[in-house]
């Protein structure tokens, strides 16, 4: 289904390490690297403006590729600097119309950057944050979330895959609830883009934010926002410039009719080209195939780690993905990371500040975070587990 040997041959970074840090920043494949280098070389030869004009077909192709991945129109896609910019353009556009007493419903596994924005809006606008409880499996209780919605609810904001573990939030079920109640729905797909299919029609979200650098294996400094045509009819981003809007009279401007209203004029053109190539690379393998292989690899790793004395796998939820979180009774994550790095194995970590409500609710220690991807091998899974056992 996936030619793993070919994918590894096209990934220079895999040559000298067993790489399990895709939840931080994935390893770019050769086609993405080539696209970046080619455009930067072109900029060096003819200048940035001329190079951007020459790259116009490639830039348009990036929008088309993202739209194909998300099952939406190219007019509903904005390419921005990162997932945080994407999320904030959506959220703060809604927040500027919120009044004291209005509320935003979110989840226990919500990401720190998003929750900080909610807290800032509590301070600025007097809104309330309502956190939907988890069910017995550790994922959001969708029925309980629905019961929290009232006429003051101005947004449902959900992280699809939390940074702290392998949980996959039942985002499509939340989408059905949001549609029933006519509540705007913002889905943070930063960790899910590139490791599983993302069909915005099935997910039922009004906005979806994501990055290019993680499981999509694209360049850093790239991200994108999906904004539905329906939500754009009544939504204005908090930041506009001469790219996202036109100054049509001394006292008047008109926003772009498409999701370009969420972009700004100056952006990373080489990265934008590279992002499109990264999306095409993932689509060529098939996101369903990627998801299936990642699940097999992650389940294998969880089983191996479960058998190691002193190691506890910490992933919650019914549906689990490529991120495997675990703790060690004797070693802090930083120590585990360093000792594995000395053996040529790259993993990450996750601290309470990234998903504080989840950490506190489950009384979690700091966590090790090993995020597999389709180009990992079964031998590398065994190597990682053996190295942890050998600590």
Model pTM above 0.85: yes
Say which residues have a Cβ less than 8 Å from residue 253's Cβ, sequence separation at least 6: 240, 245, 246, 247
Which residue, among 335, 317, 339, has the nearest Cα to 327 in the 3D structure? Answer: 335
DSSP letters for 28-57: PPHHHHHHHHHHHHHHHHH-HHHHHHHTHH
Give the helix/strand (H/E) hosting 342. none
Say which residues have a Cβ less than 8 Å from residue 30's Cβ, sequence separation at least 6: 10, 11, 12
Contact 388, 305 (CB under 8 A): yes
The predicted structure's pLDDT at residue 301: 98
Helix ranges (DSSP H) in the chain: 4-9, 30-46, 48-54, 56-70, 83-95, 112-125, 142-148, 171-181, 200-203, 229-232, 269-285, 287-306, 333-341, 356-362, 378-389
Identify the structural domains of the chain with CATH numbers, from first to last: 4-28+286-389 (3.90.1150.10), 31-284 (3.40.640.10)
Say which residues have a Cβ less than 8 Å from residue 296's Cβ, sequence separation at least 6: none
Extract long-range pairs of 116-121: CB within 8 Å, 24+ residues apart.
117/87, 117/88, 117/91, 117/92, 118/157, 121/92, 121/95
Cα separations (Å) of 348 from 9, 134, 248, 254, 391? 24, 26, 49, 45, 16
Say which residues have a Cβ less than 8 Å from residue 313's Cβ, sequence separation at least 6: 302, 305, 306, 324, 325, 326
- State the chain's maximal CA–CA distance in angstroms: 71
Which residue, among 107, 113, 106, has the nearest Cα to 83 in the 3D structure? Answer: 113
Cα separations (Å) of 237 from 32, 89, 260, 318? 30, 5, 11, 35
What's the N-to-C CA distance of the chain in angstroms? 35
Which residue, among 327, 319, 318, has the nearest Cα to 370 in the 3D structure? Answer: 327
The one-digit pLDDT tens for each residue of the chain (391 residues) are 899 999 999 999 999 999 999 999 999 999 999 999 999 999 999 999 999 999 999 999 999 999 999 999 999 999 999 999 999 999 999 999 999 999 999 999 999 999 999 999 999 999 999 999 999 999 999 999 999 999 999 999 999 999 988 999 999 999 999 999 999 999 999 999 999 999 999 999 999 999 999 999 999 999 999 999 999 999 999 999 999 999 999 999 999 999 999 999 999 999 999 999 999 999 999 999 999 999 999 999 999 999 999 999 999 999 999 999 999 999 999 999 999 999 999 999 999 999 999 999 999 999 999 999 999 999 999 999 999 999 9
Residues in the chain: 391
Contact 1, 292 (CB under 8 A): yes
Token code pair at residue 148: 């929290």
Angle between helices 287-306 and 269-285 (to 10 degrees): 80
């Amino acid at each position: 289904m996936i030619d793993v040997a070919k994918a590894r041959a096209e990934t220079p970074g895999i040559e000298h390490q067993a790489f399990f840090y895709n939840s931080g920043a994935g390893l770019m494949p050769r086609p993405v690297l080539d696209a970046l280098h080619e455009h930067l070389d072109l900029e060096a030869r003819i200048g940035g403006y001329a190079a951007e004009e020459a790259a116009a077909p490639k830039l348009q192709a990036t929008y088309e590729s993202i739209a194909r991945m998300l099952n939406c129109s190219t007019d509903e896609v904005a390419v921005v600097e990162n997932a945080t910019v994407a999320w904030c353009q959506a959220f703060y556009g809604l927040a500027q119309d919120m009044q004291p007493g209005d509320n935003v419903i979110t989840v226990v596994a919500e990401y720190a950057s998003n929750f900080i924005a909610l807290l800032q809006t509590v301070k600025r606008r007097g809104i309330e944050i309502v956190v939907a409880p988890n069910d017995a499996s550790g994922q959001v209780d969708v029925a309980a979330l629905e019961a929290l919605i009232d006429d003051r609810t101005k947004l449902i904001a959900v992280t699809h895959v939390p940074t702290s573990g392998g949980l996959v939030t039942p985002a499509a079920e939340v989408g059905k609830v949001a549609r029933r109640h006519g509540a705007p729905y913002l889905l943070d797909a930063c960790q899910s883009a590139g490791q599983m299919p993302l069909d915005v029609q099935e997910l039922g979200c009004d906005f979806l934010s994501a990055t290019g650098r993680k499981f999509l294996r694209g360049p850093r400094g790239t991200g994108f926002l999906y904004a539905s045509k329906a939500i754009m009819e009544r939504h204005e981003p908090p930041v506009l410039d001469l790219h996202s809007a036109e100054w049509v009279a001394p006292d008047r401007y008109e926003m772009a009719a498409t999701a370009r209203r969420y972009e700004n004029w100056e952006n990373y053109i080489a990265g934008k080209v590279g992002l499109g190539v990264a999306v095409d690379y993932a689509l060529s393998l098939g996101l369903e195939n990627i998801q299936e292989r990642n699940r097999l690899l992650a389940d294998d790793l969880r089983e191996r780690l479960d058998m190691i004395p002193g190691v506890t796998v910490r992933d919650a939820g019914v549906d689990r993905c490529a991120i495997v979180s675990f703790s060690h009774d004797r070693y802090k994550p930083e120590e585990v990371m360093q000792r594995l790095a000395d053996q040529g194995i790259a993993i990450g970590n996750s601290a309470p500040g990234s998903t504080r409500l989840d950490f506190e609710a489950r009384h979690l220690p700091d966590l090790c975070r090993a995020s597999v991807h389709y180009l990992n091998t079964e031998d590398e899974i065994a190597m990682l587990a053996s190295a942890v056992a050998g600590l």
